[in-house]
Structure 1
Amino acid sequence: MDGMRRFGWKKFAIAAVVLLGFVWVLGPRKEDVIPEKYIPSIAEPYFSYNPPSHTTLPPPNRPQPTSPQHPSNDEDIVSNPKPRPTSYETDPDHYKTVYCTKPFKPDLPLVQYALMIDAGSTGSRIHIYKFNNCGASPSYEYEVFKQTKPGLSKFEKNPLGAAMSLDILLDEAVKVVPQALQKCTPVAVKATAGLRLLGGPESEEILEAVRHRLHEKYPFNLQEKDGVVIMDGSDEGVYAWITANYLLKTIRADTPEGTTPYAVLDLGGASTQIVFEPTFDMSKPDNTLEEGEHKYDLKFSGKDYVLYQHSYLGYGLMKAREHVHRLVEFMGSFHKVGAKDIVGNPCLARGTKREVTIKDESTGQEKNVTMVGEDIGGFDSCNRVIELVMAKDSICEVKPCSFNGVYQPSLLETFPKGNILLLSYFYDRLRPLIPSTSTSPIHISTIATLAKQVCLGKPEWEKHWGDDHELMKELEGRPEWCLDLTFMHALLRLGYEFGSERTVEIGKQIEGTELGWCLGATIAMVGADLKCRV
């Protein structure tokens, strides 16, 4: 999809000028978002994506220590185990497991580790997972997590530097994984939207440098086919859906029939994903999920799911910021007074300022502009700008659409009461503003309320969060927090058309395990025949 359709701002330039006029004129101012059997080789991924994708994963349930899983191996199951470890620190023996004394298959090790590196747009993160082989398929126990910044895409002209940026993560894996198991520990590096946007030869040079360094410097078993790749956005969303619903126990083999899995919305730096299982009123003719890449057929724990998924490239939080700043600067040029490179920005909190880099998409030239909130900063004014970025009125070829002309079944009709889980930047921006004692779901209207409070600037911050000195420091250092919250609210209300009173949950971890796509992708990776590095 070309840039014009993807971001929509050029298409609405004229409308933008008119709309900004209302914003600036009417706004106040001082002056003027496994298989049930093993697959042949670990080099063959469980997710064979050939839209519509047909995927089979194993039942990934953890063994139940108090009841034998397999009668033939009863004598090998630990009936009164030590407390289940939930972290590396609480694990009594990193070579063994508390669940059994022998593996289900004699040719497998008792425990197995797996490494997944999430090479995102703003940073890279390693997930070091421990599994046991007490059952017919590997069972997950816990993870060790570490992250670093910046992301691989920031090394556009320095592939070796990109590869070396992962050393701090892989060095941690060398410390965590027992030495005798390292050659049998699979590792994968999956890049997401940052490298997708970089594209072309630059991305491939970075990926090749990462492959070479992994082979030369580290002992782990790098997958031959999908070891270092740019992951398809559809897989990213579905893997995150699997991770969350597996940990929330809504898609396991023993999950009660009729349980509705959570809808999972992930907000990264360069892209955002939505995945849910829609249900249709079959009494209405032709009331089904349209065919296309958005349709994802999944078999997991012996059950079939037909999911809707879409990854919006260019609508991650950092990209949204870029589009808003560029649009504000473009519109501000029509009525600018005073300093040449100072622009009033309604999406910055009042009384704050931020120097931003504006890149001209047609020429590639960059310039630095000082954005100031002043008295024009506010939720309503910012929301008007973000509405243009969302391109809600783009042509909808297959109805109904969410935004930017993308087909999506109505959430009101096909997912009216299901739970909704928000991940990544949703959590990072919302959690600090909500009382730490609160674990209840929040209404989407609450996000609007928080955005209004943050956008009004420091006097309002002191009124609501004055006792939290760390948060006050964060708010002062991030003038775009106003923009971030307003975009998140617009994504949910205007984009996906959730009702304002719909409740959502925000999450980062469940039982010490990071939410996101990595665990789902790793379950697929360790479900293959074990290979060890020669």
Structure 2
Amino acid sequence: MEQDRAAAYAIVVDAGSTHSDVILYKWPGAKVNNTGEVVQVSTCYVTGGLAQVTTSNVSSYFKECFGRAEGQIPPESQATAEVLLGATAGMRMLNSSDPSQANKAIASVRDYLRTTDMVVKESNVGIISGSIEGISGWITINFLKDTIYSAVGHLNSSWGALDLGGASTQITFEVSESMHSHPLVTKLKLFGHQFHVFSQSFQCYGVVQAGLRYKALLLQEHWNDVSGPNQQPLNSPCDPFGRKILLTGDDFQTPCLKSINLASKIMESHRNYSFLGTGNYSECESYAKRLLDLTQCRATGWDKCINGSSIPDYVGDRKFMGFASFAYVANALQINKTTTKSSFLERAKRLCSLSYDKVLEMKLTDKTNFKDLENSCFKSLFVYNMLSNIYGFNTDEKWTNVKFTTKISHATLGWSLGYMINATDKIAAGAGVPTLRTVPFALLLVLFAMFLIISIGFVMHGIKLRKSSSYQRQIATRMDEEIVKFITPQSHHHLQNQNQPNGGYS
């Protein structure tokens, strides 16, 4: 039995490369085998990545969202409510290129959080690894799909997780215990059960960084055309026909590009670049393939390359959930959760053929589904080749194992919920009166109901028997009365004869 108390609350900040999400969670004070059954209460969106946060702007960055979240925590739970902040790929990149700046940003955030009414532990605020991000996303999916319990001992019952952000991508799935010594396999204990989970993260292969790499390839190939005094717009096959894009050297200031040839020149702040969309599907796919090819990546000079051969051969045997930009791209292609490999590609071809005017018209018609449609030709072909050539979904049959979605049961998919669930075993439950855990209590309730039904059955059967016995007794009594009436006169006459003198007969 656990201790019953007021619900526990915590705020998790998902600090991504382009924005942050401030999410309020709660769970019953009584845990299930030391793990809290967490539910999402609310979420708040903050524009801009954490890398841009400084001491002077950190308050304005977080104030509105934290004010909303703290206002939803009941008074009796405020004293123990914790805050956890995980900075992801954007800060991982900054930390690799400028550790001092990354440390300053995290310190500014930590100092601000201490001005709130939340419990702030130094170890709960920092940069998380790609592996933790992937594993936490896996926990989120399998908790919401209710397979954390049913998947125990059945590898193919759990869902794999495919995450695609702005700066990195992660693939995560459960493996057998025999792989426990693999360097990318982590042992988890959730709700009293153990899982062995493989997770691999690829830095610089999120859609934003991949898009910059694509543009950098164009600049490398046509440097003489864009660096001279008579600069002309550079044709961009992955952008809608007629779209004009202006970028500067500052836009390419990212660690994912620093190692390439001509990087120092491309990143010069005074430079301006003009691109003109041509909407050419075949040329765009060629660039998408180059970005994901290990040999060509190394030849280009990039130090962060993707290698699909490092992923165990378990992918095609199980179901996967593709969320974040995997789902956003599917949404732009008007794919309802699942599709085949060939259908995905055909939809991508049609999207790449759209003119920029048509794209703008579609965005005005449906702002929700097509909010980033102008970049979706490149993104869809990048996703297609990543799933096919890196993650192993290279047939129609395997492709249908992937479900694209952003939510399950109204809860947003991401790493933060799983991160919160995994952290609940470190957040102590308060004292109170003993109470039964959810699962045993439900079992006892079912047993009690069965006992009640059986008891009612016995009572009804007993009443029926009693009614039947009463009727039989009435019949027996009536028969006795009739027999008595029949035999009584004869018995009286016999007794009279016995009392007469013998002289009556000689």
Map 1:184-263 to 2 at 5 A. 184-199=80-95, 200-216=99-115, 218-224=116-122, 226-252=123-149, 257=154, 259-263=156-160
Residue of structure 2 aligned with 1:509, choices 407, 431, 437: 407
Alpha-carbon shift at residue 128 of structure 1 (Å): 0.5
Structure 2 unpaired stretches of 5+ = 299-303, 431-506
Does residue 114 (structure 1) correspond to residue 16 (structure 2)? The answer is no
CA distance in 2, matches of 1:127, 1:382: 37
The question of whether the paired residues in 2 share the 8 Å contact of 1:277 and 1:415 is answered with: no
CA distance in 1, matches of 2:325, 2:297: 29
Q: 1:256 and 1:405, CA in 2 relative to 1: closer, same or farther beyond 3 A?
A: closer
Q: 1:474 and 1:295, CA in 2 relative to 1: closer, same or farther beyond 3 A?
A: closer
Report which structure shows greater RCO (CA 8 Å, sep ≥6): 1
Map 1:117-156 to 2 at 5 A. 117-136=13-32, 137=34, 138-155=36-53
The question of whether the paired residues in 1 share the 8 Å contact of 2:140 and 2:413 is answered with: yes
Alpha-carbon shift at residue 127 of structure 1 (Å): 1.3
Q: 1:273 and 1:159, CA in 2 relative to 1: closer, same or farther beyond 3 A?
A: farther
Residue of structure 2 aligned with 1:368, choices 272, 282, 286: 272
CA distance in 2, matches of 1:482, 1:174: 41
2:317 aligned partner: 417
CA distance in 2, matches of 1:393, 1:152: 33
Alpha-carbon shift at residue 313 of structure 1 (Å): 0.8
CA distance in 2, matches of 1:444, 1:303: 35
Alpha-carbon shift at residue 432 of structure 1 (Å): 3.9
2:231 aligned partner: 340
The question of whether the paired residues in 2 share the 8 Å contact of 1:184 and 1:531 is answered with: no
Residue of structure 2 aligned with 1:442, choices 314, 339, 342: 339
- SS at 1:479 equivalent: helix
- SS at 1:523 equivalent: helix
Residue of structure 1 aligned with 2:203, choices 299, 308, 313: 313
Q: Identity of counterpart residues, as a percentage? A: 22
1:293 aligned partner: 183
Residue of structure 2 aligned with 1:494, choices 389, 393, 396: 389
Paired positions, count: 403
CA distance in 1, matches of 2:372, 2:192: 49
CA distance in 2, matches of 1:426, 1:369: 29
CA distance in 2, matches of 1:488, 1:353: 24
2:72 aligned partner: 176
- SS at 1:184 equivalent: coil
Q: 1:514 and 1:247, CA in 2 relative to 1: closer, same or farther beyond 3 A?
A: same
Alpha-carbon shift at residue 395 of structure 1 (Å): 10
Residue of structure 2 aligned with 1:352, choices 243, 251, 254: 243
CA distance in 2, matches of 1:505, 1:404: 23
Alpha-carbon shift at residue 467 of structure 1 (Å): 7.3
1:525 aligned partner: 423
Map 1:4-43 to 2 at 5 A. none
The question of whether the paired residues in 2 share the 8 Å contact of 1:116 and 1:518 is answered with: yes
The question of whether the paired residues in 2 share the 8 Å contact of 1:508 and 1:515 is answered with: yes
Alpha-carbon shift at residue 500 of structure 1 (Å): 3.8
The question of whether the paired residues in 1 share the 8 Å contact of 2:316 and 2:392 is answered with: no
The question of whether the paired residues in 2 share the 8 Å contact of 1:152 and 1:162 is answered with: no
Alpha-carbon shift at residue 299 of structure 1 (Å): 2.9
CA distance in 2, matches of 1:298, 1:135: 17
Q: 1:192 and 1:378, CA in 2 relative to 1: closer, same or farther beyond 3 A?
A: same
Higher helix fraction (1 or 2): 2
Cα RMSD (Å) of the superposition? 3.2
Moved more, 290-299 or 140-149: 290-299
CA distance in 1, matches of 2:197, 2:428: 30
Map 1:48-127 to 2 at 5 A. 104-105=2-3, 109-127=5-23
CA distance in 2, matches of 1:416, 1:477: 30
Q: 1:146 and 1:119, CA in 2 relative to 1: closer, same or farther beyond 3 A?
A: same
Q: Deviations over 1:250-288 (max 9, x none)?
A: 2226868464211111001111111112469xxxxxxx7
2:492 aligned partner: none
The question of whether the paired residues in 1 share the 8 Å contact of 2:362 and 2:370 is answered with: no
1:63 aligned partner: none
Q: Deviations over 1:447-468 (max 9, x none)?
A: 3222211211239958xx9777
Q: 1:147 and 1:476, CA in 2 relative to 1: closer, same or farther beyond 3 A?
A: closer
Moved more, 169-178 or 184-193: 169-178
The question of whether the paired residues in 1 share the 8 Å contact of 2:156 and 2:318 is answered with: no
Q: 1:196 and 1:135, CA in 2 relative to 1: closer, same or farther beyond 3 A?
A: closer
- SS at 2:426 equivalent: coil
CA distance in 1, matches of 2:309, 2:362: 45
- SS at 2:316 equivalent: coil
Does residue 429 (structure 1) correspond to residue 329 (structure 2)? The answer is yes
The code of the aligned residue for 1:241 comes to W
The question of whether the paired residues in 2 share the 8 Å contact of 1:272 and 1:316 is answered with: yes
CA distance in 2, matches of 1:307, 1:255: 12
1:484 aligned partner: 379
Mark the structure with the bigger radius of gyration. 2
Moved more, 135-144 or 262-271: 135-144
